[in-house]
Structure 1
Amino acid sequence: MLRKSVLSTALAALVLALLPGIGAAAPKSAKPGHVDVLFIGAHPDDEHNNLATFGQWRENSGISTGVVTITRGEGGGNAVGPEEGPALGVLREGEERRAVGRAGIQDVHNLDKVDFFYTVSAPLTRKVWDEQDTLDRIVRLVRETTPSVIVTMNPAPVPGQHGNHQEAGRLATQAYDDAADPAKFTGQGLAPWSVGRLFEADADGSGGTGPDCPFTPDDPAEQVYGVWEGAYSREHRSSWAKVQAQSARDYRSQGFGDTADPPTDPAEIDCDRFTQIDSRVPYTLGNTAPDAMLEGAALPGKGGLPRGTGLELSTSEQHPTPGNSFTTTVTAHAPHHAPLPGARITPQLPEGWSVRGDGRLDGDGKARFTVTVPREAKTGTGYRIGAELSSAIGHGQTAREIEPAPAVTAVPARLPQYTDFDDWSARTGVPQLQGGWENTLSLGSGESRTIPVRLHNNGERAESGTVRLDLPKGFTASPTTRDYRGLAPGADTTAEFTVTATDKQLPTADDGDYRYTVHTTSGSGSQDTGAALDLVPATRIPALDSAPKLDGIAGPGEYPGASLPISRRWEGDPCTSARDCSGYAKVSRHGDTLYVLTHVTDDKPGTALSAKDCKRHWRTDSVEIDIDPRGTGENTATTFKTGILPWTAEGGPCFERDADNHQGGAETAPGMRVAAKTDQPYTGYTVEAAIPMADLPSAVDPARMGLNILAYDSDTTDKTGQTRIGWSPFSGVQGDPYRWGHAELPGYQPPPDRPAQPSEPVIAKTAARSIDSPASIAQSARDGIPLAGQQAAPTGDRARLAGPALLRGGTLTALVHATGPGTAHLYAWTPDGRTLGSRTIPVHGPGTQRIELPVTGTPPAGTRTLLGFAAEQGGTASSTAPILGNRAP
């Protein structure tokens, strides 16, 4: 009997190891487009900080990585040429492909969504990108590429986090679930695919450098992994950190061309950090190996379980109250959802937590436990709830985080983006991502605002108690304490306080993050909840009897108001001295027009751009004026933002509107005028602007207009900035209207016909397309995955190159065989990525069409013809063919 049992177990292990399942790598010979790891980002270069990791995995473990880039970065600057819009997008795609190629990454899938402008708003990004369409494309690519692991960006609205990055992380997280759900996106005609593990390429905490990657997470329950960049690459004969630095230099258009090499001391070389969001597979808790993130998914588990084994843990509550119980469900199965021989689940709980349940799997492969939270458990603190799977063929672990809640939760009013994120994470099934930051609101220096505190009863009995705001010195609350009575289980109520910043000498902006505590009592005890106030500067804009002369000079009586300091840094390199970069601004009003004068002290002028290139002002010395007419903007699409260049190659100043309600040149602000004066000898410059309030997207609220004045300092001639200073300088503040300063306009009343609601934003949606990218077409022809995450052209409306193309006398002749109508995009493409000729022509089909394509120069060996076909019925087809005829040897 014993020998039979051992033989049966060994046979079972052999059979299970051969079965496909969750996260199991597809046979590469059978699926050319397969990758083991898929990185999902928003722009070219979003992956660059992790290329050392991806390169190590490929070289040491044979793990392939692919990249999904939602946009081609058309909204970025260009430090290398005049390209903008779609042309810049194609340029940036080329940079990205060169950079990731150093790490051995061959597959880059662009989704053709537009990079419209810098924003910190995920909701605005969602709208512009058409969230459902973008999600459809990502799900399609997950099902096409069958990755075992997804790595993405931080989906949370942490201060300064790009809204495009947030949305990329959210879409990747949703795709992790939806790609595995056979009921989602059924029209794709693709089999569902279950990714094994999901990570964000980020971690909150403190850590050091060196091979051991020391790190202490801010939340001890989070599962954070480190991969040292200093590991040696046999292929490159250098450290991966140096390879990553070389890759960064490939993103030259974004100013990365001067990226420095890593330190020579290995102990000073950094680590890449990753935080696990979710997992469906067993792994080993505490595994710190460089490939630990791949365990159980792209690589076999260390406990002997075959790849494709499933292990998931869920809880009935994310925020149980101390002293109460919740249900933990663990689901386990062998590959292909087969039973696991001899399987048993053992809970792994924090010390002092109790559990009931025998650990046996039922017929659905589930084991359920009742877990009781001890009364002394800390609320507002994350705890790790784990489980170990033991079976006749191996063992493994999994875990997730929960956070006990007090009997009564007190949440002060929060920014809309925080509420939006919490709603999304609950809806998406990742509530563990909620609340990873303090609730933050802004308050003007010397001003007051109402802060409502929402109280929620999490317990099973009615509660009564008090709420108090414990504020730092320089702030007061009225009243100091509020009572609540008889709050029923599951019910909410609100306690309101008026908070005043009484000390006008308190630092604002970069030094203006003031933390306070909401102290709540109930029948079960007391609870402190942290929150913060961003103290922003405030001013009064005086009215003038006559308009200032617009000449770049502050004439007598033209600017009688306060001088606004704009010398504090909010991004970039520190100023070496006041002579390097500093300044002040003054604002006045005459009638319905604002006048802004800004003086900048500077030691070296930046590049003089052509007046025809008056855009993306952060590339050189410039002044930015930001106005939020109502003072309530969630994002800059409801605001007015202008960038002013103090000089151009033609001599005078120019201005544009960027990242606001209506971007563009002078035509989008027809009444605006600018003047500038440069100091001689050069010690800086003065910019003066007249901005009619009729050019703003809505009527101004004279009691609370949002205002910020920023300066960009560039000491180079390569169209890159070094330092950013301003009046209200928080990180990422150019996209954060709530952290701009406040301006009061005494005596001003907007015209009665001016709308209080901002007009609908005008946002350019012209993006580079994969059908216009030879590199994308070549990749699609190679791996068979349709362009841009879209569907394949239907069989009855498809085209392909019918054999080799013939080159004679500088003309390439290709035969295109079509089964239906569409548009052919033809390219002569060299092995080093150059386009020697291109042509776009309608195909009427069905049938074979002869297309001639002029070619420049003599094609080198290996040059091929590429065809990207956009079918009239929708979808694409890509093919490639060699070239016969006169070419270089």
Structure 2
Amino acid sequence: MKRHFCVRSALAFILFLAAPHAALPRAGTPNLEMLKTDLLAVTAHPDDESMMAATMARYADEGKVVALVTCTRGEGGGNGTGKEGGAALGIVREAELRKCLGILGVRYLYFLNQPDWAYTESVQATLSQWGHEETLRRLVRLVRLLRPEVICTMDPAPVGGQHGHHQAAGRLATEAFEAAADPNRFPELQRDEGISPWRVRKLYWTSFGQTGTMRIATDGLAGGTLASAHPGKRHADIGWEAARQHRSQGFDKFFASLAGASKVQVPARPNSFVLVKSRILINPLSEKDLFDGIAGARLDGPDTQHDVLAAGLAAAPAAAPVTAQLRPRDNVRNYRAWLQANGIERLLTRLPAHISVVQGRADNLLEVEVANHTPQPQTGKLSLRVPAGWTLDRPEETYAVPANSTAIVSFRCAIPADAAVKSHDLIVQLGNATDTGKLDVVPALTIARLMSALPVDGSIQKWETLGIAAVPIRPASGFQGRVASPQECSGRFFTGYDDEGLQILVDVTDDTVVRNIAPDDIKAHWRSTSVEICLDPAPPGENTFSTLKLGIFPQDTTGTVRAARDADGRPGPLEQIKSRIRLASRLTPAGYVVEAHIPWPEIGLSVDRSALAGSRLGFNVILYHAGKKNARIGEDVGKSRLAWSFWPGAPGRPEVWGQAVLR
């Protein structure tokens, strides 16, 4: 037995030596020298590193030490290769990630051990759930131990479709750049754990193809530490092979289909980065490498700085005495305040002001923030220009702003009922200066009171008999994936309300109705054929945790309609949370029908009959279309998503749901 153990140990050691990695530390190397890292990537979940995997492979191939810190184990994600969920899925995804990083030649992996608790696009909710200060402390500990030269992280801008956990990872890494160097931040790490502050040289954000300071080529062939394991492979190829290890998330199928669809070699696209902070004097316009300027650089004194101008971003102009701009929605205001608090105001221009406005409403509120940058009170006039056919309550308004202060000037805008669901320009003019904001139109509907309660039976005829018009969801209303025709996927819905609650019937045309969800696996409805109903009792909400989000499977593997609330204030299968929501479904020759009656208390509205009329709800209906008829039990076969209000990231963004008024 002992001999077998020794043989296995020797074999494991030989395999370890054969694995690709930078030169290993010699025996007796001090801990900090052993851990010394060149490039540290900071992400939110396993698989997020894929956006810069080729860059990680390139630097590992050059012999640099590369490490990854990820905030969670991804236990809240989907699972296309099994039924594991929660902590069990986190173990699966950690194993996938370790395989991935082994291929890339990444030496160190650490977790911040925060929960992957729900899909949300709210960074505020994410950091509240994780504990902002404690999570930052954990990251600062790792930065001081690993002592990286460069940190690369995720872009924290709150653009549509950007997970709140991704935004949080980007914010934490940016804050750690300064906090890790400051002996007054987390002094207990030095006092109790013996870890000294460390000054990271440069910080980059991934730029998702936007204008960045640098594009790292990924078409070079492995010629260093990765050459023996990947002969003749480009760094991009190594990155794709590594990403394929995230099987539970469908990456293996995606890259297999990509290779199968291409008859020629897939182009190796460069990875783009934005230089956010630097402690060395470097011209970002001339950078060719993440490590440019680091060798021999001075980290203190007049030749250093903490912030540099990113290419493609205009230098912040000297502020005019008085400026005016559209006051954005809460998440953009929060992001801008965070940029200013972290000394990177120059990046404010990357994200214009956005607010949501509603089709057909005459009283959409447009607020303009007027800032006085002088020590004297200022007065004057400003005006707005809106798209043709839109009407302002007045074309201009006077302002009076105290010294070194701000004031809000409000307008009301009537928007046509047929205004396109997209971003429209709003021009704010003050004197000769103009500023452009974005008005994001969301759809509107009126919900009629039902004279008597309707049966929840999946019958369309009762709605048509009452003369209630159907609201269409067309193939063009997609926000993820593609739908070729109405026959592939489209829908319509009917809705009304009574004293007890809101009733909705959704009639879906779908050529691939999949029933692969087992009765004990009612969660993550986006994996298969399903409908999601989204209701916000106090629109527009900043996050989904005061809303109702109901995911309905028209049939599980036993043919029964099932549903669960997801990523809202009371998540879980309806039976487990003792919900009083009533459901019905049936298959049709063209697809399926689902119907739900949702009690007012579960939505969060008053049950006082006299208080219901005139109430406004954030409202959306989302169709999830599957792409594989013969799916395995539990397999993630989601192909595309359509919605009534089809803004990017719609499931996690109540601010872009449509609005409904109870008549």
TM over 0.5: yes
Tell me the equivalent position of 2:462.
556
- Residue correspondence of structure 1 range 370-385 to structure 2 within 5 A: 382-383=313-314
Please point out which of 632, 640, 644 is paired with 1:727: 644
Please point out which of 641, 648, 653 is paired with 1:736: 653
Please point out which of 532, 535, 540 is paired with 1:624: 532
- Residue correspondence of structure 1 range 863-882 to structure 2 within 5 A: none
> Secondary structure of 2:181's partner?
coil
Tell me the equivalent position of 2:359.
445
Give the AA of the match of 2:497: R
Tell me the equivalent position of 1:53.
55
> Secondary structure of 2:105's partner?
coil
Tell me the equivalent position of 2:243.
248
**Cα distance between partner residues in 2 of 1:257 and 1:382:** 37
Give the AA of the match of 1:684: G
Preserved CA contact (<8 Å) 1:245 1:259:
no
Please point out which of 429, 453, 458 is paired with 1:519: 429
Cα–Cα, structure 1 residues 107 and 742, in superposed 2: closer, same or farther, change >3 Å?
same
**Cα distance between partner residues in 2 of 1:293 and 1:266:** 27
Q: Relative CO higher for 1 or 2, CA cutoff 8 Å, sep ≥ 6?
A: 2
- Residue correspondence of structure 1 range 188-587 to structure 2 within 5 A: 188-189=189-190, 190-202=195-207, 205=210, 217=211, 224-234=213-223, 235=227, 236=230, 237-260=232-255, 261=258, 268-289=267-288, 292-297=289-294, 300=295, 306-307=296-297, 309-310=298-299, 330-332=302-304, 382-383=313-314, 401-447=315-361, 448-459=363-374, 462-485=377-400, 487-501=401-415, 503-508=416-421, 512-521=422-431, 526-557=432-463, 560-567=467-474, 568-587=476-495
2:553 is the counterpart of 1:645: yes
**Cα distance between partner residues in 1 of 2:413 and 2:372:** 25
Identity %: 31
Preserved CA contact (<8 Å) 1:559 1:586:
no
Cα–Cα, structure 1 residues 590 and 555, in superposed 2: closer, same or farther, change >3 Å?
farther
Give the AA of the match of 2:645: S
Cα–Cα, structure 1 residues 101 and 504, in superposed 2: closer, same or farther, change >3 Å?
same
**Cα distance between partner residues in 1 of 2:317 and 2:94:** 42
**Cα distance between partner residues in 2 of 1:573 and 1:422:** 31
Tell me the equivalent position of 2:148.
147
Preserved CA contact (<8 Å) 2:621 2:643:
yes
Preserved CA contact (<8 Å) 1:711 1:726:
yes
**Cα distance between partner residues in 1 of 2:356 and 2:283:** 43
1:259 Cα deviation (Å)? Answer: 2.4
- Residue correspondence of structure 1 range 6-25 to structure 2 within 5 A: none
1:466 Cα deviation (Å)? Answer: 1.6
Tell me the equivalent position of 1:168.
169
> Secondary structure of 1:454's partner?
strand
Tell me the equivalent position of 2:619.
707
1:311 Cα deviation (Å)? Answer: 6.1
> Secondary structure of 2:144's partner?
helix
CA radius of gyration, larger in: 1
1:696 Cα deviation (Å)? Answer: 2.0
**Cα distance between partner residues in 1 of 2:322 and 2:283:** 36
1:460 Cα deviation (Å)? Answer: 5.6
Deviations 1:50-73 (A, max 9, x none): 11111111213x111111010111
Preserved CA contact (<8 Å) 1:549 1:555:
no
Preserved CA contact (<8 Å) 1:515 1:530:
yes
1:554 Cα deviation (Å)? Answer: 1.4
Deviations 1:176-220 (A, max 9, x none): 100001111111121000000000011563xxxxxxxxxxx3xxx
Tell me the equivalent position of 2:541.
633
1:331 Cα deviation (Å)? Answer: 4.8
Structure 2, unpaired ranges of 5+? 1-22
Please point out which of 671, 677, 689 is paired with 2:586: 677
> Secondary structure of 2:641's partner?
strand
Deviations 1:242-273 (A, max 9, x none): 22222221111112121235667679431110
- Residue correspondence of structure 1 range 742-753 to structure 2 within 5 A: 742-746=659-663
**Cα distance between partner residues in 2 of 1:648 and 1:408:** 61
Tell me the equivalent position of 2:497.
589
> Secondary structure of 2:414's partner?
strand
1:505 Cα deviation (Å)? Answer: 1.9
1:283 Cα deviation (Å)? Answer: 3.3
- Residue correspondence of structure 1 range 843-854 to structure 2 within 5 A: none
Give the AA of the match of 1:83: E
**Cα distance between partner residues in 1 of 2:578 and 2:498:** 18
More off after superposition, 475-484 vs 234-243? 234-243
Preserved CA contact (<8 Å) 2:376 2:404:
no
Preserved CA contact (<8 Å) 1:707 1:741:
yes
Cα–Cα, structure 1 residues 266 and 720, in superposed 2: closer, same or farther, change >3 Å?
closer
Tell me the equivalent position of 1:792.
none
2:35 is the counterpart of 1:122: no
> Secondary structure of 2:332's partner?
helix
1:489 Cα deviation (Å)? Answer: 4.0
- Residue correspondence of structure 1 range 102-117 to structure 2 within 5 A: 102-117=103-118
> Secondary structure of 1:112's partner?
coil
1:703 Cα deviation (Å)? Answer: 3.2
Give the AA of the match of 2:204: F
1:622 Cα deviation (Å)? Answer: 0.2
**Cα distance between partner residues in 2 of 1:238 and 1:123:** 42
Name the Cα RMSD after superposition.
2.4
> Secondary structure of 1:711's partner?
strand
Preserved CA contact (<8 Å) 1:416 1:634:
yes
Cα–Cα, structure 1 residues 76 and 496, in superposed 2: closer, same or farther, change >3 Å?
same
**Cα distance between partner residues in 2 of 1:115 and 1:563:** 38
1:733 Cα deviation (Å)? Answer: 0.9
- Which structure carries more strand by proportion? 1
Preserved CA contact (<8 Å) 2:376 2:402:
yes
> Secondary structure of 2:462's partner?
coil
Tell me the equivalent position of 2:90.
89
Cα–Cα, structure 1 residues 687 and 102, in superposed 2: closer, same or farther, change >3 Å?
same
1:586 Cα deviation (Å)? Answer: 1.0
> Secondary structure of 2:177's partner?
helix
> Secondary structure of 1:601's partner?
strand
1:711 Cα deviation (Å)? Answer: 0.5
Tell me the equivalent position of 2:8.
none
**Cα distance between partner residues in 1 of 2:657 and 2:205:** 30
**Cα distance between partner residues in 2 of 1:27 and 1:280:** 28
1:652 Cα deviation (Å)? Answer: 0.9
Cα–Cα, structure 1 residues 285 and 725, in superposed 2: closer, same or farther, change >3 Å?
closer
Cα–Cα, structure 1 residues 704 and 413, in superposed 2: closer, same or farther, change >3 Å?
farther
Cα–Cα, structure 1 residues 382 and 107, in superposed 2: closer, same or farther, change >3 Å?
closer
> Secondary structure of 1:582's partner?
strand
Cα–Cα, structure 1 residues 265 and 604, in superposed 2: closer, same or farther, change >3 Å?
closer
Give the AA of the match of 1:270: R
Preserved CA contact (<8 Å) 2:213 2:287:
no
**Cα distance between partner residues in 2 of 1:703 and 1:582:** 29
**Cα distance between partner residues in 2 of 1:685 and 1:243:** 43
**Cα distance between partner residues in 1 of 2:139 and 2:604:** 35
Tell me the equivalent position of 2:601.
694
Give the AA of the match of 1:95: E
Preserved CA contact (<8 Å) 2:360 2:418:
no
Preserved CA contact (<8 Å) 2:480 2:648:
no
Give the AA of the match of 2:504: V
**Cα distance between partner residues in 1 of 2:581 and 2:537:** 16
Preserved CA contact (<8 Å) 1:607 1:621:
yes
